[in-house]
Each structure stands twice: as C-alpha cells, then as structure tokens.
C-alpha cells in the first residue's frame, strides 16, 4: 500500500484499527522508504534496497514510530539507500555490530591469549576492572570512537593520571591485537583491520621522577624501622587500620623484611612481594625469578639480605607472608603502602615512594664508580637506555675520580719544595 509518509498521515494511521496481519506502507515520494504495522499496533520505519552487487532485496529497520519522526526516518532511509548504491551494506554492518564483542570482551581476550606473564596480566586486569570496564566495557568494539576514548580517559585521569594513560595504551594494544588476529583464516572477527580508536588519543604528560634518598634520609629510615620492629609506632602514623589512636603497633617482620630487601637489592616491589621460597638460592646468594618484568632474572643478594631471609619463618609459599599465608588460596601480599608511609612519617622523609628505593640503590652504585652496564645487570634492565637515566650520576662520579687521580699526578710532577 502506498501513502505519503508525513506527520499527519502517520498519526492518522496509528489511530486507525489494528490490522489482523502485518501491513506494509510504502512512501509515494522516496522509493524504498516505508513503515509497517504489526498486529500489536506497533509501527516501524524501514528502508528497502537491493545491494549494488546484486541479489535479493534487503530491508533495514530504522526505528519505531514515535521514537523517530517521519522526517528523521525519511532522512535515515535516504542515507541507507544511497549507501547501498555505493556498495555499502548497512544491514550487514548492523549485523556485524550485533555480533561484535564488547570492548571489555576484546581487552579480556587480549589479556588471556596474548599476555604470557602473570604479573603483567594482573596489572592489565586491574586496569580493565577499574578504568576501562566501567566507562567503555559495554560498548561494542566495532563502534567505539576516538572521542569516546578521550572522554573516558578524561574521567580516568580524575582518579589517576598515570593509570589513565596505561589503560588507554592497553586498549590500543588490544585493538591492534584484535585487528591482526581477525585477519587470520578461521579466527573470529574482533575488529576490522586498521581500526584503533585508542591510537592517537590524548594522554596526560608524564614527568619522570628522579628521587634518590640521601645518606641522612637512609639513616633516619633505618632508625624508624628498628623502632617499628621493636617498640612499635603510634597508630596515627598509619601503621594499622583498626586500633585506638596513640597505641603503639609493632610492624610485621615480613613487611620490614620486604622494605629492607628492596633497599639492599634494588629489586622491584612485586619481585619481592611475589617471591616464592622455591626461587631462593641462599647457597649461591641469588634469587632466581622466572617471571620478572624483563623475563627470567637473577637478583644477587648481599650478605645483609641473605641474613634477613634466613631470619624469616616459613609460613607459606611466599617469602613475604601475607594475610592468607599457609591457606589453600594463598596470595602474595598486596602492597607495602601503610608500613612504608608509617616509616617515612616517623623518619621525617617526605615525597618518597617505595620505588625510589630502587633508584637509590642504582644511584649508590653509580656514585661508587660502578659502570652503568653493571648497574643495569643488577637492576635487570633489558634495555640499556633504561639505565642511562643514571648517566648524570656517572658523570659526577667520573669527575670525582679524575680529580682524585689528577691531584695525585699533579702532586707528583710538582717537584720537591
């Protein structure tokens, strides 16, 4: 049946008796545009067209009567029919969109199938759960746009500027992986090749921190740790969650040991907290890590670190026992935020992160005129350029060395007085 689809005509049609079967009405002016009404009285606009490559006609639903105005439906039909003439199948696009995985599913599959290292996968899952999932997770991966990503990144940045950047980089990597794998024969189609809405997103500026603890600060921290392990520190120093203020709380020997081991070895936080007893070789004075940030890695232990490990009681699988130590579902300790904050507060040391202990270890070695390759090996840097951040300290050590050597030679050639 042909009618001129206008606001008045559609309103009159919807007020008429409900048909006893689905009835189609085609517009008199735009071929292929129409609406149909079902036996429930519902009206739906559609566009009908034949693909440019041939074949049977296809019908694309545009929206319900009442949701779309007639002029809006007409414009949508005009675009659909025009796109069909250009070879673009909007019906197939919508079908592909419905079949597409969500952003959350795409990132989750990337983590599961591409990320081999457990520590990296753990970080990625945290970024997915905390940042990507709540803001973009339910969107179909094929329809995500760069403006969507930029808006989400802006919201993430209100909570954590650096983590927001990491989340967008993870999203970009997941899209790259999805596009590459979609092109393989027999693989599921995640996203079209070349599609990456997270590529080129606006990221926050990150400034590299170079915080090294001086000798006086290290001494103050050492004194605070001894006090924390023996007498205890006041609750208001951040030592415990549930205890009356003013009460002294003795720090866990495992937390204290973890801080000392990071200081003495330059290890990363998670390398110590995730350390298993099976990875400790005290006979050779080394920790043999199968899954560090840079892959398999040996961490050499000074005598002081060996003594610290020997003094710890084995409770579970991990050297630094956590709350679930010794249980069937044992997990490594989550972090050292509270004990480290308490120590720094007592020592009067400000703006020091736990990671700065690693920087301090490196700067101490460079200051003692050890070469950058040696420091890089001790820290487990896979890329020499990472160790190069300490080059300015090496320059200072070289200046002191040349002054000492030059002074001796100058004295020798000055002649007798």
Pairing between strand 2-3 and 23-27?
A: parallel
Model confidence at 196: pLDDT above 60:
yes
Query: Confidence class of residue 404 from pLDDT cuts 50, 70 and 90?
Result: low
Domain range 2-99, CATH class = alpha beta
Distance CA 309, CA 388 (A): 31
90 or 103, greater pLDDT:
103
| CA 256-258-260 angle, 5° bins | 70
pLDDT reported for residue 344: 93
302 or 97, greater pLDDT:
302
Predicted TM-score (pTM) of the model is 0.53
pLDDT reported for residue 214: 82
Residue span(s) of the chain under CATH 1.10.443.10 come to: 215-401
Distance CA 151, CA 168 (A): 11
Pairing between strand 33-37 and 23-27?
A: antiparallel
pLDDT reported for residue 205: 87
State whether the Cα torsion 113-114-117-121 is positive or negative: negative
Model confidence at 266: pLDDT above 90:
no
Model confidence at 365: pLDDT above 60:
no
Residue percentage of the chain with pLDDT more than 70: 75
Distance CA 163, CA 132 (A): 11
Task: Tell me the CATH number for domain 103-182.
Answer: 1.10.150
Distance CA 352, CA 30 (A): 70
Model confidence at 258: pLDDT above 80:
yes
pLDDT reported for residue 372: 44
Place of tokens 């002081």: 304
Model confidence at 142: pLDDT above 70:
yes
Residue span(s) of the chain under CATH 3.30.160.390 come to: 2-99
If you average pLDDT over residues 230-259, what whole number do you get? Answer: 78
**CA distances, 319 to each of 84, 120, 226, 328 (Å):** 65, 21, 20, 16
pLDDT reported for residue 299: 83
Tokens of 336: 């050292």
- Span 30-46, pLDDT tens digits: 989 999 999 999 999 99
CA dihedral 355→368→264→354, nearest 10 degrees, is -10
Q: Which of 113-122, 331-340, 342-351 has the lowest mean pLDDT?
A: 113-122
pLDDT reported for residue 54: 59
Whole-number average pLDDT of the chain: 81
Model confidence at 379: pLDDT above 90:
no
361 or 368, greater pLDDT:
361
Residue/partner pairs of 221-225 with CB below 8 Å, 24 or more apart: 221/343, 221/344, 221/347, 221/349, 223/347, 224/343, 224/344, 224/346, 224/347, 225/251, 225/256, 225/259, 225/260, 225/343
Residue span(s) of the chain under CATH 1.10.150 come to: 103-182
Model confidence at 180: pLDDT above 80:
yes
Model confidence at 399: pLDDT above 80:
no
Model confidence at 357: pLDDT above 90:
no
Residue percentage of the chain with pLDDT more than 90: 41
The CATH number of 215-401 is which of 1.10.443.10, 1.10.3720.10, 1.10.1740.10, 1.10.10.60?
1.10.443.10
Residues 6 or more apart whose Cβ sits within 8 Å of residue 157: 164, 204
Residues 6 or more apart whose Cβ sits within 8 Å of residue 318: 273, 274, 275, 276, 277, 325, 330, 332, 333
Model confidence at 116: pLDDT above 80:
no
**CA distances, 70 to each of 8, 15, 76, 235, 408 (Å):** 9, 16, 10, 69, 95
């Amino acid at each position: 049946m042909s009618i001129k689809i206008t606001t008045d005509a559609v309103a009159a049609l919807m007020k008429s008796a409900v048909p006893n079967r689905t009835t189609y009405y085609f517009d008199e002016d735009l071929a292929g545009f129409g609406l149909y009404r079902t036996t429930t009285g519902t009206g739906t606009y559609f566009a009908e067209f034949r693909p440019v490559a041939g074949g049977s006609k296809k019908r694309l639903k545009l929206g319900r009567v009442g949701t779309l105005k007639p002029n809006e439906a007409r414009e949508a039909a005009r675009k659909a029919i025009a796109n069909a003439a250009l070879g673009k199948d909007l019906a197939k696009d919508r079908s592909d969109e419905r079949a597409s995985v969500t952003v959350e599913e795409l990132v989750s599959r990337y983590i599961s199938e591409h990320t081999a290292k457990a520590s990296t996968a753990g970080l990625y899952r945290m970024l997915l759960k905390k940042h990507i999932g709540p803001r973009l997770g339910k969107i179909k991966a094929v329809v995500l746009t760069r403006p969507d990503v930029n808006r989400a990144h802006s919201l993430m940045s209100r909570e954590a500027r650096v983590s927001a950047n990491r989340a967008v980089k993870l999203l970009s990597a997941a899209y790259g992986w999805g596009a590459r794998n979609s092109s393989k024969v027999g693989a599921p189609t995640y996203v079209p090749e070349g599609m990456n809405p997270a590529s080129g997103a606006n990221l926050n500026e990150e400034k590299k921190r170079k915080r090294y603890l001086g000798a006086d600060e290290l001494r103050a921290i050492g004194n605070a740790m001894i006090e924390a392990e023996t007498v205890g520190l006041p609750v208001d120093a951040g030592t415990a969650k549930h205890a009356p203020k003013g009460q002294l709380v003795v720090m866990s020997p495992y937390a204290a040991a973890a801080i000392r081991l990071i200081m003495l070895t330059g290890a990363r936080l998670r390398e110590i907290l995730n350390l298993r007893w099976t990875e400790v070789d005290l006979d050779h004075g080394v920790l043999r890590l199968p899954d560090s940030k840079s892959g398999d890695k040996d961490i050499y232990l000074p005598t002081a670190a060996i003594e610290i490990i020997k003094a710890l009681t084995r409770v579970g699988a991990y050297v630094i026992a956590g709350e679930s130590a010794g249980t069937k579902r044992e997990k490594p300790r989550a972090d050292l935020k509270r004990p480290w904050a308490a120590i720094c507060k007592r020592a009067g040391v400000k703006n020091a992160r736990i990671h700065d202990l690693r920087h301090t270890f490196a700067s101490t070695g460079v200051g003692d005129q050890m070469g950058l390759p040696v420091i890089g090996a001790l820290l487990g840097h896979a890329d020499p350029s990472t160790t190069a951040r300490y080059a300015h300290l090496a320059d200072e050590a070289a200046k002191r060395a040349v002054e000492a050597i030059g002074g001796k030679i100058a004295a020798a050639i000055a002649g007798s007085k």
